[in-house]
Amino acid sequence: MKSISVIIPNYNGKHLFEKYFGHNFNVLMSIKTEVEIIVIDDASTDDSVEYLQQNYGDTITLLKKETNSGFSETCNLGIKQANNDLIFLLNTDVTLEEGYIEKLYKYFEKGDTFGVMGRIIGMDDDLIREAAREPKIMGRKIKSSDLFHLKNINALTPTFYLSGANALMDTKKLKTINGFNEMFNPYYGEDQELSIRAWRMGWKCYYEHNAVCRHEVMASTKNHNPKKAIKRIHFRNRYYVHYLHLQGIDLTLWHLQILLCDVLLGILSCQFYKAEAYMDFRRNRQGLMIKKSAFTRQMKRNHSNIGIIEVIESIKMMLKYQHVIKL
């Protein structure tokens, strides 16, 4: 079995470690392969570091940041540290059911697999919170549609993107595309953008319905930021995704659609966070251009010229003859 590096980003999550980490630690240590656990603390102000040092000091690698920056940079530090065959991203507010990882291994028998995630259900119920996602385009806005899974549970199920809370990924491929885009700090949309880059490199992202974990939804962010700030970041990062992955006339049409449907209507309806998010996007466009050009060069080195529209069509073709169950 391939060896695993578990990457756990943390910010003020002592209460979550107390509730969930002991269980996850036992599940991970029961896997019959080499497993290393890397926790990256994003300059917590609670006692997260002390708790981990006292209870797990000799059994995990603990990286401590001096300045809080967000999910992408924190995960990237762990990704750079990891040397095992596969990287498993795990949130502090997730618990794994027995056999979760083992059910994902089969996907890495395929050479073009980038990563796979399992089903996420509620911590106190069995309602599905995350499953596979099918992409769609509204005008020139790229969206992920409703959650779904396939009736044939043995079929390979593509997903538009892998959740950063519970995804198992090929380490070499993840490092090849330089991990997460840190412009998406502090959070939101970075896992979707990473998965889009993987698809455009010619790799595939999958969903495994039989692998199950539980999630305390938004436990790691809901207490740290007001709702309007979260919405502003959410829309800013959506604009980032489109700018990075649309080209030519599609990018121009998207820009017009955003100005009319998001910015203008947002102002008229007093949803000012949309205009603020757009201004954030405009201020950071130079950095986005650099990232976009670097990825274009990366694709050429990998002999790929796949666009986002082709990715969407490819996923639709993979689902064309399947019985899709919308959730």
Half-sphere exposure of 241 (CA within 13 A, CB side): 24
Q: What is the pLDDT of residue 226?
A: 78
| 223 alpha carbon, distance to own chain's centre | 20
Largest CA distance in the chain: 58
Please report which residue ranges of 40-96 form alpha helices under DSSP H.
48-56, 71-81
Residue 68 has which token pair? 């809080």
pLDDT above 80: residue 217: no
Q: What is the mean pLDDT of residues 112-121?
A: 98
CA–CA gap between residue 301 and residue 115 (Å, rounded): 21
196: Cα separation from own chain's centroid: 10
pLDDT at 154: 85
Task: Return the SS3 of 153.
Answer: coil
Residue 122 scores a pLDDT above 70: yes
Q: How far apart are CA 317 and CA 312, in angstroms?
A: 9
d(CA 105, CA 246): 33
Q: Which range, of 68-77, 138-147, 207-216, 309-318, averages the lowest pLDDT?
A: 138-147
Whether this prediction's pTM lies above 0.75 is answered by yes
Looking at this protein, which amino acid is placed at residue 55?
N
Per the CB < 8 A criterion, the answer to whether 73 and 182 are in contact is: yes
Fill in the amino acid letter for 297.
R
Task: Assess whether pLDDT exceeds 90 at residue 224.
Answer: no
pLDDT at position 219, please? 56
Could you tell me whether strands 35-41 and 61-64 are parallel, antiparallel, or unpaired per DSSP bridges? parallel
Q: What is the pLDDT of residues 171-195, one digit of tens each?
A: 999 999 999 999 999 999 999 999 9
Percentage of residues in the chain having pLDDT higher than 70? 97
Rg (CA), the chain: 19
Per-residue pLDDT averaged across 287-291, rounded?
98
Confidence of residue 221 (pLDDT cuts 50, 70, 90): low
Residue 261: pLDDT over 70: yes
Distance of alpha carbon 85 from alpha carbon 91, whole angstroms: 20
Q: Give the rounded distance of the alpha carbon of 5 from its chain centre.
A: 16
Quick one: CA dihedral 74, 80, 82, 88, positive or negative?
positive
Q: pLDDT at residue 199 above 60?
A: yes
* Closest CA relative to residue 134, chosen from 322, 262, 280, 288: 322
End-to-end Cα, the chain, rounded Å: 33
